[in-house]
Every structure is written in C-alpha cells, then in structure tokens.
Structure 1
Amino acid sequence: MADFHDIQRRETGLQQHLTSAQMVMIAIGGAVGTGLFMGSAFAIGFAGPAVLVSYAIGAFIALLLIGCLGEMTVAHPTSGSFGAYAEYYLGPLAGFVVRYAYWAALVLAVGMEVTAVGIYMAYWFPQVPQWIWVGVFSALLIGINLRSVKVYGAAEYLFSAIKVAAIVAFVLIGSYVVFGARIPGIGLENYQLGGGFWAKGLWGMWLGVIVAMFSYLGVEAIAVAAGEAQHPQQAVQRAMKTTVLRLVLFYLLTLALMLAIVPWTEAATQTSPFVRVMEIIDIPYAAGVLNFVVLVAALSAMNSQLYTTSRMMFSLARAGHAPARFGQTNASGVPVAAILVSSLGAAVAMVINAFWPEQSFMWMMSIAMFGAMFAWFMVFVTHLAFRRRRDREGADRVPFRMWGFPWLTLLGATLMGAVLLTTLFTPAFRLTLVFGLPWLLVLTLVYWRLHRR
C-alpha cells in the first residue's frame, strides 16, 4: 500500500495561513451555533431538566472523538482528514463513503444554519419572508469563503469571539440573577417544576443526547483545518486540548442557568430559549442584543461548515472521486468550484423555507444529522485500525495520544452507534436513518460502478 505522504502530496495547493488561535475559534464556530441557541429548545422538550445529563453524555462522546481524531491528525495533518484516514487505514471504499456522507451532511447543515438565520431575522422583521434572508446571508458568507483562507479565518475568529463574549456575559448575568438577585420565580427550584428533574424519564434524557450530539458536531473542523494551519502539529494539539473544555463549560453552564431562570416547559419552544431568558430578566434591549448574538452564532456555524464541506469536496476531487475542477484552486489557494457546489444547501434551504417555513428547521436538522454522526462513528473505527497498524509496524509514537486504547475507542464507537440507532425510534428524527441508510447504499453502488470502470 502507498505511503500516507502520497495522500498528503495529492492534497497540496491550499495555503497554510491559519493560526492556532483561529483553529480553536473555527472549532468553536462550528460547534456553538444553532445547536446551543435553538437546538437546545428541542432537547429540553425531549429531556426536561435532565437535558444537562444529555449534554454531559454528548460532551463525553465529543471528548473521546477529539482524542482519537487528534492522534491521527497530529500523525497525518491533511485537509482530507478523517476521510483520508479511512481511505488509508480501512480502504478506498471507506474513504469514499465517509467523505461523501459527511460532505452531504454539512451541505444540508449549511442550509439548516441559514434557515435559523431567517427565523432570527423574523424577530425584527416579521413581515419579511424568511427565504429572502436566507438568500442575502448565503451570498455574504459564500463571498467570505471565496476570498482566501486568511479572510475566512479572520471572519470566523471575529464571529466566534462575539459568541464567546456573549456566552461569558450570559453566564455572569445569569449567575447573579439566579444566586444573587433573589427574584421570585427564578432559582434552582424551577428544576422541580413540571414533574421534576427526571420529568421525561431516562428515555427522554437519552433522546436529548441526539440533539446534544448534533450540537457538538463541528469540533472535527479542527482536523480538516489542519491542512491549512501554519504549524499543524502544534496548532492541532493546542486546539484539541482546549476546545472540548470550553464547549463543555459553554453548554452546561448556560443550560443550567437558563433552566433556573425559565421553567423548562417554557424553554421548550421553537424560539431561542436564550432570548426568552433576556425577556424574563427584562434588561433593556437585552433580548434584541442576544438575538443579534444568536444570529452571529448561526452565521459563524454556517461559515465554518461551508469551509469544512468545501475542503472535503476538494479532497474527494484530488482522490479522483469527484470532477477534477473541484480539486482546483485559484491564485489565493481557494477551491472556488468546491465552495460553490458545497453551497447547494443554502439553495435547498431557500426552497424549503419558501414552501414549508414552519417545518424547515427540524427537517434540515434530522436529515443533516446522519452523515455527520456516521463520520464520527467511522472516526472511532478508523482509530482502531490506525493504532493497531502503527503498533504492528513499529511506527513512532505521536506526541498527542488517545488514552485508554482500545476500550475508550470501542466505547465511543458503541455510544455513537447507539445514538444513530435511537433516531429510528424517535418520530422527530426518523428521517435521519430513513434518508441515511439508502444514501449509504447509493454511495456504495456508485463507488463500485466507478471502480469497475
């Protein structure tokens, strides 16, 4: 079998301009979006206050993934990332299926994030059709991605910095309101309303894990961005070690405070529960400011996902699995054609928003979920093959190493498989496997057809 350096040489042409600080913000940008600010409402509806346990389980799975993916990325930094690793350690079919499944998932996730943008803009302009905002903001972010990776990194850093500052401010204000202000109707006693902490039982808590997992999807963007990092090994190690901790604090602290301020039965609505918190606290203009923040969060996540999915298409083209023009870059090192074809999700979102604005967000989330979760599952499977092969060949140890191998890697694969299987028994997410399994079959048949030719 060819050396992995052949894959890395095949994927040259992109420019290495991203700093380690930008790498961290890219991961946060992808993972702190509508999953926190809007998706949490769906998770609360499933789990009640036990949604905190749901997000803790999701964070644990994300931590295991970061360990496995971090070790492989430090050993082989390249834009094809886990798709290239699956190709090398599991076989060409695995690399083909993982990359296309993930690419399609993020194409739809781009559409889901921009769908949320339309919902947030309706807070200020309820009379304007949502699909108009979808078109306007899609054009803006596609333009940013077409400039250069340096412009993209700077924009994502700014977007994510706004989100981080807003979340820190929310935690400080929320902590004062819950523990210092002693306002009637606000406090930890809200956890006991509507049936108590376990109001929805263990099954409801586990259903909340589905949304929690979707919320954390995006941390893998660090590995994809490694191919355009200035010092990939050092940048990846720093980013991997700090990102999960920040995400856990952001999600668990904000949700814990939110549920103490807003009874969970009120938080489980289609509008952002964070905006509802500010309306209850009644700080002047705070709800409008926070709506701006959640708007930026959705734009940031969309920006990060558009970047990641375009690089996955670039990798597919360089591997000969997509038209060659998608693997071409301009003078600035930007894969223009790959970005444009990866923007299809925004067009799909415009159509769905025009005809089914009420159902659009949930439909896009449930369909987009499959490919990303499947890619996470395959990261664990690939890591098993990666470590065993390197140990068998006596390869040098990498400085970033997954702990508890093979048991924690196997645990991660088992948990991801269980989450995927659970979607089949959840009406809200039944589209996940109903769409995903036939899509895997189609990809396999297409690969065999291409391979025969």
Structure 2
Amino acid sequence: MTSIQDKSSKMSAFSLTMLAIGSIIGAGMFLGVGLTIRLSGPSIILAYAIMGILMYFNLSFLAELSLLDPEKGSFQTYAAKAFGPGVGFIIGWLYWISGILVMSSEATAAAIFSALWFPGIPLWAFIVIYTVILTGVNLSDPRGFGKLESGLAIVKVIALIGFIILGIVLVFFPLFGGAPGWHNISNTPFFVHGLSGFAGSLLLVFYAYSGTSVVGLAITESSDPEKTVPKVVLITSFLVTTFYVISVLFLILLHPWTTYNASTSPYVSALLPYKIPIVQSIMNFVILTATLSAMSASMYGTSRMLNALAQQGEAPHLFNKVTKKAVPRRALLFTNVFLVGIAFLSYVIPNKIYLLVTGASGLLSLVNVLTISLAHWRLRPKFLENRKDYKTHVIGYPVSNIIVTAIFIGVFFSAFAIPDQRASFFLGLSLIVITAGAYFFLRHKLGAKPQAPETIQNQHLAPTSENSLHNLQHLAQKTEKRISEGFRSKNKS
C-alpha cells in the first residue's frame, strides 16, 4: 500500500456505492437505450432486468476474488493467475482497446447531444473539439481531475432520478397533457420482433451495465471489506437495475417506442411532446455533462492501462514515461490519436458510427466479464485453502458461474442475429484475434520484464486505476458527511 493510500481514509459503504454507480452509468444508457427499445419493443424491460441480475453475479465474482486475494491489477491479474500470462496479456490489451471504443462511443454520444443545439455542425467536429478539451483536462493535475470526476458522477444519478420523477408526474398526473401510458405496451406484442429482436438487443443492454471493475479495484479502499463489499454489491446492483428498468418503462409509457433512434437521446425525445419550458434543454445539458464525464474517465483509465502495460514490459517502453505530475503524457496522446480515426468514421458513416463502436466495445467488455466468471470458478477453491475463516456471499457457486458464463456466451453471439450489428461483431472479433495473435508473436520477447521502480521518489509513477480511487472518493465522503450533519442538526432542533 502506497504512502498516498496510508494518508487516505477508508471508504464507507455509501462512498463505495456512489463510486460504483457513477462508474456504471454512462452514454450506454443515456443514448444506447433508444436503440435497444427500437430493437426489442416492450420486452426491453425484461432485458434490462435480466442484465441487472447478471451484473450482480459478475460483481459478486469479482468482489469475492478481490476479498480472497487483493490484487492491484484486479481482473487482469486474476486472468493471468487462472489461465496463464498469455490470457493476462490479452485481457490487458483488450481492456485498452475497449477503453478506446468506450471513449469513441461517449464522444459520439456527446456529439449527438450537442447537435440538438447546433444541428449545422457535423459530428466529427464535435468529436475533435471534445477530444482536444478533455485531453487538456487529463494532462492537468490528476488530483483535481479526480475531484471533478467524482462530482460529475452524481450528475448521472440525478439525471435518472429526475427523469423518473418527471415521468411519474406526466403519466399519473397529466398536468401537461395525457401521456399514452400503458397503451404503448398493451397494444403491441411484448416480443414485438420475436426472440431474435430481443436477443439482438442484449449486447447493447449489457454495454449499459459495463464499468463494474471499479468495485474490484476499490476493495482495498473500503473499511471492513468483508462486511462492506457484499452490501455494496447488492445495493449497487439493485439501485442501478431499478434506475434502468423504471426509466426504460417510462420511456415507453411517455412516447411511442417506435420513434426512438440513435440520433437523439430518448430522454429528450420522450419529453418533447409535453412542451415543458426548457426541460428538454436542461435534460440534454445534464446528459451531455455526464457523457463527457464518462469519456474523460475512460480517457484517464485507458491511458493508465497502456502505461501499466509498458511498466510490465507488455507494451513499448516509450509509454513508460510520465510527467512530474505523474501523467503518462505519451500514453495519453497516443491513445487519443485513435479518436481522430473515429471522427473520420463519423464523417463517413454518421448514422451508424455509434452502433459500430458501442457494439464492438460491448463484445470486448463481454470477454472481460467471461474471464471474471471463469477465473472465479477456477481460483476460488485455491484461494479458500488459505482462508478457512472466509464466509462466502456468492449465491450458487459453481452453478451460478456456469449459468452466467453460458448466458454471456449467448449474448456474445447474439450480436450476429441483427444485421446492423454484424459489423460490430466482426470488428470486435477481429480485435480479439489480432490481440491473441500479437501475444503468440511476441511471447518470447515478453519473458524478460523490466523491474518495477524502487521508490516513488526516484521515478514519477503514473497513478493506477486503484490510486485514482483516492481522488474520486473525496466528494462521496463529503456528501456523506453533509447528509449526516443535516440529520444531526434536524434532531437537535
């Protein structure tokens, strides 16, 4: 544990829960849900509920591995322990590639949201502008960046809660005109496009739940983790699933589901018919802010992953360098260069770019999730040999691992069921094959890895994802403190 960690206070269940929720909610929900509703119709409610349950198990697998064997590398390290260094190499690089695709997805979503106010500006221009701005933010002091990210994470939660409250008012208290309500569900088949349409939506639904690795990284940050973490896993899964399912329900109740698409956020489109003054612009601004927050966070973590791979000798030594402020500038700039390519694609295929990068990123994230499930199945008995006092909180092991793995494999290949997603499927599959091929080509050169720096004083180490949690937790702790002080003051009065 670093000196920075020693000076930091431990995260409570509240702080860790807020951090986990903030890391999961992103453009996959605020924009991608429009595509999933169009693909699946009313049955999309079931899809989000099922994926929420699977997210709970995935979080449980990762959390238990982290409790039994705390590791800084989290799922990448467990992949190497369970299946060898080759899998660890592949998972690390797939995480980096997936991070680029996540940034691309968030940048594309932010461009689409911005087009609501400036329809004459092409998407590629917004992507370039936001990339330049957020690159500058990431080149600054990581501590200030962490505090900013923690604050913006709350915006995502507020956006969903605010929409749900507004949906309740519009559906059950029609102050601004009557909403279609339950007729949008009762007047159409539940599986409107059959099981193929339902299956085809699962990959995009899964993408909305991705980003759960923060829980594994934060295990060492929590107070009394064996009691705190299982509660956090349950609460996080319940809250995120509830937010998603209820908000999707109101999206269907407020507006004809056949009109949703990837050109506008459904959370804005659903409110347009009610002509509530400036509410659409407010919602669009909040969602844009949250999306840029997710893009910036992905930029931060992805550049650190490339830097970490370089420190382990699994990436060019060029990316091992960091600035005096511990920013891996070379890794950051190299990573962000790929966003220029995405800007070019948004110029060539503006109507399909979001689905392409989101689907491909979802496939790579699925590989990580499958690795977590299989690594937990294989490593748990070995870890328990040294932890006789450990009390399990994973339900149904090892049957649950088998079921979750089988479902996620089905989701992986379901991307091929929808013609519009086949390009994403082949892109994601190609990236997996290329990464695996790179390992087999370089495996003889990966034997001699550079030694880790002896002291932090001698070299400026880039903060890992784990260390960044110290920065991200500050606002969560302040929020919890203020809430507690508010309750105490009320009790005194």
TM-score by shorter chain over 0.5: yes
Question: Which residue, 115, 119, 122 being the options, matches 1:122?
Answer: 115
Contact 1:68-1:379 at 8 Å conserved across structures:
yes
Q: What is residue 180 of structure 2 aligned with on the other side?
A: 186
Q: What is residue 4 of structure 1 aligned with on the other side?
A: none
Could you tell me which amino acid in structure 1 is paired with residue 312 of structure 2? A
Question: Which residue, 267, 270, 275 being the options, matches 1:274?
Answer: 267
Could you tell me which amino acid in structure 2 is paired with residue 277 of structure 1? A
Q: CA deviation at 1:244?
A: 1.7
What is the CA–CA distance in structure 2 between the aligned matches of 1:265 and 1:176, rounded to whole Å? 23
Contact 1:171-1:254 at 8 Å conserved across structures:
yes
Q: What is residue 432 of structure 1 aligned with on the other side?
A: 424
Deviations 1:87-124 (A, max 9, x none): 12221011011111121011111011101111111111
Contact 2:40-2:201 at 8 Å conserved across structures:
yes
Q: What is residue 112 of structure 1 aligned with on the other side?
A: 105
Q: What is residue 404 of structure 2 aligned with on the other side?
A: 412
Matched, 1:308 2:329: no
TM, length-normalised to structure 2: 0.82
Matched, 1:244 2:210: no
Question: Which residue, 411, 419, 423 being the options, matches 2:415?
Answer: 423
Matches within 5 A, 1:348-427: 348-391=341-384, 393-396=385-388, 398=390, 401-427=393-419
Contact 1:22-1:154 at 8 Å conserved across structures:
no
Report SS of the residue matched to 1:452.
coil
What is the CA–CA distance in structure 2 between the aligned matches of 1:387 and 1:144, rounded to whole Å? 40
Contact 1:28-1:218 at 8 Å conserved across structures:
no
Matched, 1:46 2:39: yes
Could you tell me which amino acid in structure 2 is paired with residue 174 of structure 1? G
What is the CA–CA distance in structure 1 between the aligned matches of 2:54 and 2:129, rounded to whole Å? 36
RMSD: 2.7
Contact 1:114-1:349 at 8 Å conserved across structures:
no
Could you tell me which amino acid in structure 2 is paired with residue 303 of structure 1? S
What is the CA–CA distance in structure 2 between the aligned matches of 1:18 and 1:48, rounded to whole Å? 46
Q: CA deviation at 1:287?
A: 0.6
Q: What is residue 453 of structure 2 aligned with on the other side?
A: none
Q: What is residue 291 of structure 1 aligned with on the other side?
A: 284
Could you tell me which amino acid in structure 2 is paired with residue 143 of structure 1? G
Q: CA deviation at 1:19?
A: 6.8
What is the CA–CA distance in structure 1 between the aligned matches of 2:382 and 2:263, rounded to whole Å? 47
Deviations 1:191-242 (A, max 9, x none): 123x233322233222222211011111223334567x47694885565343
Could you tell me which amino acid in structure 1 is paired with residue 178 of structure 2? P
Could you tell me which amino acid in structure 2 is paired with residue 136 of structure 1? I
Report SS of the residue matched to 1:218.
coil
Q: CA deviation at 1:326?
A: 3.0
Could you tell me which amino acid in structure 2 is paired with residue 324 of structure 1? H
- Inter-CA distance 13–383: structure 2 relative to 1 (3 Å threshold): farther
Q: What is residue 313 of structure 2 aligned with on the other side?
A: 320
Question: Which residue, 408, 422, 435 being the options, matches 1:443?
Answer: 435
Could you tell me which amino acid in structure 2 is paired with residue 253 of structure 1? I
Matches within 5 A, 1:1-400: 20=11, 23-181=16-174, 183-193=177-187, 195-224=188-217, 229=221, 233=225, 239-268=232-261, 270-391=263-384, 393-396=385-388, 398=390
- Inter-CA distance 440–356: structure 2 relative to 1 (3 Å threshold): closer
Deviations 1:109-158 (A, max 9, x none): 10111011111111111122222221222223233333344323312222
Report SS of the residue matched to 1:198.
coil
Q: CA deviation at 1:347?
A: 2.1
What is the CA–CA distance in structure 1 between the aligned matches of 2:319 and 2:72, rounded to whole Å? 14
Report SS of the residue matched to 2:139.
helix
Percent identity over paired residues:
26
- Inter-CA distance 431–369: structure 2 relative to 1 (3 Å threshold): farther
Contact 2:170-2:179 at 8 Å conserved across structures:
no
Residues 158-167 or 72-81, more deviating: 72-81
- Inter-CA distance 31–22: structure 2 relative to 1 (3 Å threshold): same
- Inter-CA distance 345–29: structure 2 relative to 1 (3 Å threshold): farther
Deviations 1:221-266 (A, max 9, x none): 3334567x47694885565343222211211111111111112112
Could you tell me which amino acid in structure 2 is paired with residue 80 of structure 1? G
Contact 1:30-1:302 at 8 Å conserved across structures:
no
What is the CA–CA distance in structure 1 between the aligned matches of 2:283 and 2:272, rounded to whole Å? 10
Deviations 1:2-58 (A, max 9, x none): xxxxxxx9xx79878697466544433342222111111110111101100011111
How many residue pairs end up in the alignment? 440
What is the CA–CA distance in structure 2 between the aligned matches of 1:103 and 1:329, rounded to whole Å? 18
Residues 326-335 or 442-451, more deviating: 326-335
Q: What is residue 6 of structure 1 aligned with on the other side?
A: none
Could you tell me which amino acid in structure 2 is paired with residue 245 of structure 1? F
What is the CA–CA distance in structure 2 between the aligned matches of 1:437 and 1:13, rounded to whole Å? 41
Contact 1:107-1:309 at 8 Å conserved across structures:
yes
What is the CA–CA distance in structure 1 between the aligned matches of 2:391 and 2:134, rounded to whole Å? 36
Q: CA deviation at 1:435?
A: 2.4
Q: CA deviation at 1:397?
A: 5.1
TM, length-normalised to structure 1: 0.88
